């Protein structure tokens, strides 16, 4: 296949590059920024796509952020590829603060109590939910009994408050990224168009100069032949 990697990565390499990309997060950020700026679309549509991707990063649907970003971009007439790039806002460096903000907001809106040391609580509840999910899948084919306590606690204390609480900060972060992105993308596109125009102008002038030189050479050669005759 054309887009298939030549060097196959092991599962360990996939996980390690997800947590820390090859070349570092700074290089990955600049690569995404460069790709977004070069998208062939209006600054407003690209910025709306970025905002949709940022908003999707505040949802608890890990693994589906690309899908949510694409759907949100479609709803607000944003650029599809820019929305996928916007999900880069959610990464292992920002997941914890995003989760804390979303959970605090969700528990406040729902009127429930927010437990302290949420980073530890998150890890424990994710582990309990994953353990329950695995045990229940095994129980479908064995004599084990299905237990849903870990999943119930995860839904009540983490998932549902996260989903509700991520809406407001997600909208705020998405709007901020939109308004910051529009002038930057517009300035970049104008500068890029000016460079392309200047390049073509230089090529045109060079071609005209070469044409004038060729015409002058042709006239000299014609004059010389006339004198010889």
Provide the residue-wise pLDDT of the chain in tens; the chain has 229 residues.
444 445 565 655 554 554 455 555 555 555 555 666 667 788 899 999 999 999 999 998 888 899 999 999 999 999 988 898 888 888 878 888 998 899 889 999 998 876 655 444 566 666 666 677 777 776 677 776 666 666 777 788 888 999 999 999 999 999 999 999 899 888 888 888 788 788 888 887 777 777 666 666 665 566 556 665 5
Residue 129: is it exposed, middle or buried by C-beta count within 10 angstroms (0-12/13-18/19+)?
Answer: buried
118 in helix, strand or coil? helix
Which of left, alpha, beta for 77 (phi over 0: left; psi -120 to 50: alpha)? left
In sign, the C-alpha dihedral spanning 54, 77, 30, 17 is positive
pTM, two decimals, is: 0.69
Cα 60 to Cα 132: distance, rounded to the nearest angstrom: 18
* Structure-token pair, residue 49: 């796509």
């Amino acid at each position: 296949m054309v887009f298939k990697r030549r060097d196959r990565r092991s599962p360990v390499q996939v996980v390690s590059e997800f947590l820390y990309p090859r070349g570092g997060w700074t290089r990955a950020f600049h690569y995404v920024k460069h790709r977004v700026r070069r998208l062939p679309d209006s600054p407003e549509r690209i910025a709306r796509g970025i905002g949709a991707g940022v908003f999707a990063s505040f949802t608890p649907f890990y693994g589906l952020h690309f899908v949510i970003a694409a759907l949100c971009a479609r709803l607000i007439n944003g650029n599809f590829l820019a929305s996928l790039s916007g999900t880069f806002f959610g990464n292992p460096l920002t997941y914890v603060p995003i989760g804390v903000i979303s959970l605090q907001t969700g528990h406040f809106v729902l009127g429930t109590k927010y437990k302290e040391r949420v980073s530890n609580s998150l890890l424990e509840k994710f582990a309990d939910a994953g353990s329950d999910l695995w045990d229940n899948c095994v129980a479908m084919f064995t004599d084990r009994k299905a237990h849903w306590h870990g999943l119930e606690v995860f839904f009540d204390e983490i998932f549902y408050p996260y989903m509700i609480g991520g809406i407001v900060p997600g909208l705020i972060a998405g709007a901020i990224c939109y308004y910051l992105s529009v002038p930057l993308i517009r300035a970049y596109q104008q500068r890029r168009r000016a460079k392309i125009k200047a390049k073509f102008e230089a090529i045109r002038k060079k071609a005209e100069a070469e044409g004038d030189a060729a015409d002058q050479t042709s006239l000299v050669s014609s004059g010389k032949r006339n004198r010889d005759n």
